[in-house]
Amino acid sequence: MRPHSAFTLAFAAIAIQGIAAINFVWDCANSVDTCNNACYAMNHNLAPSVLTKDTRETQVKQRRKDSGCRRGPCGKNAKTSFKRFGGSCDEYPFATTKEGGKGAILRCVDGLENSSEGGQLSAFYKKIPDGQKFGITMTNYQKAAFCVNSKKANDGGEFRLKNNAFVSAKRSGMLFSYSFHPGLRI
């Protein structure tokens, strides 16, 4: 019996997940820390890599509130240690997806990086309807440590809102069955 190739095993893992054929191609060159946040969340089994677009304004506002970003954990007056990483709150899964909101992984990032990610996501969203599932393909992610090393421990910047308090985000049990590889189209 012939052994399975790495591609076959990766493809099998992806097929089992029922991954979307449509991908958000995310250029990390100007959004390194937001890419880093998403990779940490996916690679530590804290969030899925397949998301569902849901840009209805009331739901997005509620998910952003539920994630904790609306509480201002990253602003200059924030009373968290996480603000040292940047002044803008990034959440993954995105608040514009059904998977976003409560339990999202947060990271304080530079506002320009957050705007770069948001602009790319907005442009992608113009091409797909609400309710559409999509995967993520990252490019230029070499400076994003959690994308390069899927097992890298939290650098102190990854956190979430839990029981009404911001806490460090830690690896979860096996909610999802494979590690996210940013250059792999899923």
The structural domain count of the chain equals 1
Task: Indicate the residue type of 159.
Answer: F
Residue 135 pLDDT: 96
26 inside domain: yes
CB within 8 Å of 48: residues ≥ 6 apart: 42, 93, 99, 175, 176
Looking only at the bridges linking them, the beta strands covering 165-168 and 159-162 are antiparallel
2 inside domain: no
Q: Where are the beta strands (DSSP E) in the chain?
A: 23-27, 51-52, 88-92, 105-109, 133-139, 159-162, 165-168
CA distance linking residue 137 with residue 147, whole number of Å: 11
91 inside domain: yes
178 inside domain: no
CA distance linking residue 2 with residue 109, whole number of Å: 47
110 inside domain: yes
CA distance linking residue 65 with residue 52, whole number of Å: 19
What mean pLDDT value characterizes the chain? 86
11 inside domain: no
Residue 13 pLDDT: 40
Contact 121, 132 (CB under 8 A): no
Task: Indicate the residue type of 49.
Answer: S
pTM for this entry:
0.82
- Owning domain of residue 129: 19-168
163 inside domain: yes
Residue 172 pLDDT: 62
The per-residue pLDDT for range 65-109, each reduced to its tens digit, is: 999 999 999 988 898 999 999 999 999 999 999 999 999 999 999
pLDDT tens, per residue, the chain with 186 residues: 444 433 333 333 444 444 558 999 999 999 999 999 999 999 999 999 999 999 999 999 999 999 999 999 998 889 899 999 999 999 999 999 999 999 999 999 999 999 999 999 999 999 999 999 999 999 999 999 999 999 999 999 999 999 999 999 987 654 443 345 565 443
User: What is the three-class DSSP state of 98?
Assistant: coil
CB within 8 Å of 41: residues ≥ 6 apart: 47, 92, 93, 104, 105, 158, 169
92 inside domain: yes
Residue 19 pLDDT: 52
